Chain A
Amino acid sequence: MGRKLTVNGAVHDVDVAGDTPLLWVLRDTLGLTGTKYGCGIMACGACTVLVDGAATRTCALPLDAIGEQQQVTTIEGLAGTSRDPVQKAWAELSVAQCGYCQSGMIMSVVALLAEHPDPSDAQIAAGVTNLCRCGTYQQVRRAIRRAAEATRDA
């Protein structure tokens, strides 16, 4: 019945229906609640994680779509606000307001910077389509720049 799922480097045996969205496997089965539910229709990005490094919305992505060899990284799998350059920039600039969208926002930005270490405005706009109802976008843009600089200088 069960299958394997690799999250943040750890292999889990999960025993849930294969059509269960990955989001709910992460949250309710594995207890990784940093990844959020916002819309359930892939429209907001609150549920964004990395699958083999690619920013992926998980609220309507069935568990079956993830291969047993694939690597899922959630916000809990990043190095934290003192070491991960994106999280560090987020903390330094106090980006989060309510904070609910920010796990997904940060995961999108991690993927963006992996692809474009020095992203243009257009690349940021195209790469970060997560919705923030609080409207933190100006701080998000500033934090992306700061994280990009820190990554380049490192």
Chain B
Amino acid sequence: MRDASARLTRRAFLRGAAVLSFGLATAPRLLRAGAAATPFTPSALLSIETDDTVRIVMPHADLGSGIYTGLAQVLAEELDADWERVVTVHLDSLHDDLKHPQWGVIATGASTSVASQWQNLRETGASARAMLVAAAADAWGVSPASLVTRDSTITDPASGRQARYGELTAAAARRTPPAAVTLKDRSQFTLIGRSLPRLDRHTKSDGSAVFGIDVQLPELRHAAIAHAPAFGGKLASYDGDAARAMPDVEAVVAIPTGVAVVARSWWQAKRALETLDIRWEDGAFAHKSSADLWREYETLAASDGPSFEQRGTLDFDAASAVVEGEMRFPFLAHAPMEPLNATARVDGERCEIWAGTQFQGIDVANLAAATGIAAEHITIHTQWLGGSFGRRAAPHADFLVEAAQVAQTSGLPHPVKLLWQREDDVRGGLYRPMALHRWKIGLDGDGRPAHWRHRVVCASISKGTPFESAFYVDGFDRLSIEGLIHTHYAGSNVDFQLHTPTHPVSVCWLRGEADTHTAPVVEGIVNRLARRAGADPFAYRRALLGDEPGTARTRGVLDALEHAANWAEPPPDGIFRGMAVHTSFGSVCGFVVELARRDQTLAFHKVTAAFDCGVVINPDAVRAQVASSVAFALSMALGQEITIEQGRAVQGNFNDYPVATLAQVPDVDVHLVDTGLDHPTGVGEVPVSPFLPALAAAVEAATGREVDRWPLRLDGYTIANV
């Protein structure tokens, strides 16, 4: 049954008895003694227990997209595990088996979790299966090839004998792992491709899921913190005497990034914090506002910068027409629903952290540097996290480091849970960078871009972080230009330039990353050029894309989208529509947005999506990601922006940094497109970016006015309740 393409395992990951000896930090001791009680733990990722439980340690954080379920489906598929007995557990160690297969460190990001683990988890499952089968074959004196596996049971069809995986753990653990395994053909999948309900559906519906903020430990103390209000500011002095005298307050400490109060309850810590007399020393940036930043950005955009993509010769005089434009994007805060927090216990030589984080492998290095404690003496206990969108992938591990520093500086022997207020998060930086795009495009006789000069002004996300070398390519931060560089729409003469201003407002990846500005720009340009040429936007795109193999998936999505949205039919009276398609994180996603309009109020009529993310592990989960990405993108599109006054973020909470509501967010008709890829590609972030230009195109169709800045609120637009 197994297909013929035997593959070498990614590495000789099974090391027999040596592996068993360290086991998993979390592996329960199921039975007290005897070989029969031995769980089969062929990897730090996987443990099969004598009661048939298949325990899979999650090498990535589930930020909400459901990857715990998806990753388990992938491994369980090749293991032929009984899905009812599969449980997932948070990672609790930094074992090599848990490292990101491409990045070489334990981390979650860039919508890579399922795509990057695809091969690894399948091999892990197939290898374990082979060892179980070999154990049974030995016991029964038959050839392994004659045995079949299903639902954690091995059957010998000839004799009818059966054994459960749980009965074979000890024997399997003594086997030598195979040097090569045979993976299933797609046609053999029974778990991959099925809309299995999420494994976390019960604990996340009954309040029992433990998020970082919920961690309970003996003698737990709680901390609240005040940060410098101005970017680039720092602590000058503070008087904590009044706070120290308050009941239940146990410490008031200064750490490099602020002043914290530790008390017996968080509310008491917060109240005491408010009594502190703190003097901050504002830096030079405290005179700056968003208007100043935009002026600096405009000045940069008016002159040439270094080119990250250049070919041919720009000659606007040779063009039959020239169009110019710009688009601007504000700072955006992630504002995950669970405010940032971490619990730390620091005693002399060791540091223990409980937190929801995307970056365990990197956090440990940051924690070691900040506390002086050796990395091997630092443990991170991963918890559920209440959203992240990139914020809990903090390059300098800010909230974790603060918790450790507060615990360490306070000198208390107790664990301390540091919880930021919502305002600490919204005002605290690490924003999606503000960005200004300006372009000048010379058209050929068919209205296609023949000469394209483009300038991006955007601060670098990776500069000065551990990721600088990974993301700087040829001197440019790819996190500023991804989604624009190498666009298939450009003709033979291009000059794409990047200005990289610096300012103390820190910037970070946010769901969708650079594509959240490059997609609205590139797709917005193409929509305008199509309109100018009097062309249908689908047909115009096809003409630009040609039939290069590199654009095949985009063309496939265009076809599916056009059909699904019934684009050939003109929209009903009073309905205006727009479309866009964009490639990011290895996947292609397109939207058609249909709107009605009354004055400045827009109402969704219909939203259709087409999505190619390669092999689909769990179709319902992917559809849910597309629909929920629309909600996330709509928040960005409508009302969210962080502005700066006197060097400080103006917005602080959901009252002035609005999240789209149930009443505003439309249903999305999602169509999954299979263009023949044989592996999964990114999901969680991908649909955010293409929704923005599709929405803008519909707004432009409805109003006749071009969208050249975000959020739309700035031009007076609102969305009616659905």
Q: Which residues of B contact A (CB under 8 A)?
A: 63-66, 197-198, 200-211, 213-214, 216, 222, 265-267, 335-339, 384-389, 419, 421-422, 620-621, 624, 627-632, 635, 653-655, 659-663, 665, 667-668, 721-722
Q: Are B654 and A129 in contact (CB under 8 A)?
A: no
Query: For chain B, what secondary structure do more than half of its interface residues adopt (helix, strand, loop), or is it mixed?
Result: loop
**Residues of A93-121 whose CB lies within 8 A of B:** 94-103, 106, 121
For A126, the closest partner residue in chain B by CB is B663
Q: How far is the CA of A37 from the CA of B423 in the complex (A)?
A: 13
Give me 16 other A-B pairs in contact (C-beta within 8 A), A91-B202, A139-B628 excluded.
Answer: A31-B216, A40-B653, A41-B422, A43-B654, A74-B207, A96-B198, A98-B64, A98-B337, A98-B386, A99-B384, A129-B662, A131-B337, A132-B659, A135-B629, A138-B627, A139-B624
Inter-chain contacts of A102 with B (CB < 8 A): 204-205
Q: Are B267 and A137 in contact (CB under 8 A)?
A: no
Q: Are B205 and A96 in contact (CB under 8 A)?
A: yes
Q: Are B660 and A135 in contact (CB under 8 A)?
A: yes
Residue A39 contacts which of B197, B206, B214, B653 (CB distance < 8 angstroms)?
A: B653
Q: Which 8 A-B pairs have the closest CB atoms?
A: A34-B207, A135-B631, A100-B386, A99-B204, A98-B64, A97-B64, A75-B207, A135-B628
For A139, the closest partner residue in chain B by CB is B624
CB distance from A119 to the nearest CB of B (A): 12
Q: A134 an interface residue at 8 Å Cβ cutoff?
A: yes
CB distance from A75 to the nearest CB of B (A): 3
CB distance from A17 to the nearest CB of B (A): 8
Interface size on A, residues (CB 8 A): 61
Inter-chain contacts of B202 with A (CB < 8 A): 81, 91
Residue B197 contacts which of A34, A92, A98, A130 (CB distance < 8 angstroms)?
A: A92
Most buried by B among A21, A129, A131: A131
Q: A70 an interface residue at 8 Å Cβ cutoff?
A: no
Inter-chain contacts of B627 with A (CB < 8 A): 135, 138-139
Q: Which residues of A contact B (CB under 8 A)?
A: 16, 20-21, 24, 27-29, 31-41, 43-44, 46, 74-76, 78, 80-81, 87, 90-92, 94-103, 106, 121-122, 124-126, 128-141
Residue A33 contacts which of B214, B387, B389, B422 (CB distance < 8 angstroms)?
A: B214
Q: Are A96 and B659 in contact (CB under 8 A)?
A: no
Residue B654 contacts which of A37, A74, A131 (CB distance < 8 angstroms)?
A: A131
- On whether A135 and B200 interact (CB within 8 A), knowing A96-B205, A98-B387, the answer reads no
Q: How far is the CA of A137 from the CA of B631 in the complex (A)?
A: 8
CB distance from B616 to the nearest CB of A (A): 15
Most buried by A among B205, B213, B266: B205
Inter-chain contacts of A39 with B (CB < 8 A): 422, 653-654
- On whether A24 and B722 interact (CB within 8 A), knowing A38-B339, A95-B205, A138-B665, the answer reads no
Q: Are B207 and A132 in contact (CB under 8 A)?
A: no
Inter-chain contacts of A37 with B (CB < 8 A): 213, 339, 419
Q: Are B337 and A43 in contact (CB under 8 A)?
A: no
A-B contact pairs, 11 of them (CB 8 A): A24-B267, A28-B266, A36-B337, A91-B205, A96-B201, A98-B387, A100-B336, A102-B205, A131-B659, A132-B337, A135-B630
- On whether A106 and B205 interact (CB within 8 A), knowing A99-B384, A138-B668, A141-B667, the answer reads yes
For B665, the closest partner residue in chain A by CB is A137
Q: How far is the CA of A96 from the CA of B65 in the complex (A)?
A: 9
Q: Are A96 and B200 in contact (CB under 8 A)?
A: yes
Q: Are B337 and A46 in contact (CB under 8 A)?
A: yes
Inter-chain contacts of B655 with A (CB < 8 A): 41, 43
Q: Are A87 and B209 in contact (CB under 8 A)?
A: no
Q: Are B205 and A97 in contact (CB under 8 A)?
A: no
For A103, the closest partner residue in chain B by CB is B207
Q: How far is the CA of A80 from the CA of B266 in the complex (A)?
A: 29
CB distance from A27 to the nearest CB of B (A): 8
CB distance from A130 to the nearest CB of B (A): 8
CB distance from B143 to the nearest CB of A (A): 42
Q: How far is the CA of A139 from the CA of B216 in the complex (A)?
A: 31
Q: Are B659 and A133 in contact (CB under 8 A)?
A: yes
Q: Are A99 and B216 in contact (CB under 8 A)?
A: no
Inter-chain contacts of B388 with A (CB < 8 A): 98
Inter-chain contacts of B667 with A (CB < 8 A): 138, 141
Q: Are A133 and B387 in contact (CB under 8 A)?
A: yes
- On whether A90 and B624 interact (CB within 8 A), knowing A98-B64, A140-B662, the answer reads no
Inter-chain contacts of A139 with B (CB < 8 A): 624, 627-628
Q: How far is the CA of A127 from the CA of B208 in the complex (A)?
A: 25
CB distance from A153 to the nearest CB of B (A): 20
Q: Are A81 and B201 in contact (CB under 8 A)?
A: yes
Q: Are B206 and A34 in contact (CB under 8 A)?
A: yes
Q: Are B624 and A133 in contact (CB under 8 A)?
A: no
Inter-chain contacts of A43 with B (CB < 8 A): 653-655
- On whether A101 and B337 interact (CB within 8 A), knowing A36-B386, A134-B387, A141-B662, the answer reads yes
Q: Are B628 and A76 in contact (CB under 8 A)?
A: no
CB distance from A24 to the nearest CB of B (A): 4
Inter-chain contacts of B620 with A (CB < 8 A): 94
Residue B337 contacts which of A29, A35, A125, A134 (CB distance < 8 angstroms)?
A: A134
Q: Are A98 and B201 in contact (CB under 8 A)?
A: no
For B210, the closest partner residue in chain A by CB is A33
Inter-chain contacts of B387 with A (CB < 8 A): 98, 100, 133-134
